[in-house]
Amino acid sequence: MTSSLQILLIYFTSGLVIGAFSSFIAKEKNRNPVNWLVLGILFNIIAMLALVAVPPAKRNSATSKNTQENQTAQPPIKNIKAESVMRIILFVLGAILIVLIGYFNFIA
């Protein structure tokens, strides 16, 4: 494999990991997680730093009332499962990134 292809593969894999973290942080800050996932993949650590610097978005009063009603109607187990799945995905993506970096360093 050429070195430029290796660099692109590492960049894209690290972008997936950072994009997943950015998506998770964006959801916690009431931002659009899909947009921040794409920004994290494209701009890597710069997008994550921008997201950390941005204050949490305020919710509309109508949206917050609907959200509060939905949260009371839904069992809290769904939130725990989603968080656990997200952590497992992030762990696997991080492990893949570490393996790829180790593999390319071994070849070079």
Contact present, 32 and 54 (Cβ < 8 Å): no
Sole residue written with tokens 């960049």 = 11
Q: What is the dihedral of CA 11, 16, 22, 24, to 10 degrees?
A: -160
Q: What is the pLDDT of residues 1-49, one digit of tens each?
A: 577 887 888 888 888 888 888 888 888 889 999 998 898 888 888 888 8
Percent pLDDT > 70 in the chain is 71
Residue 29: is it exposed, middle or buried by C-beta count within 10 angstroms (0-12/13-18/19+)? middle
Q: What is the reported pLDDT for 98?
A: 78
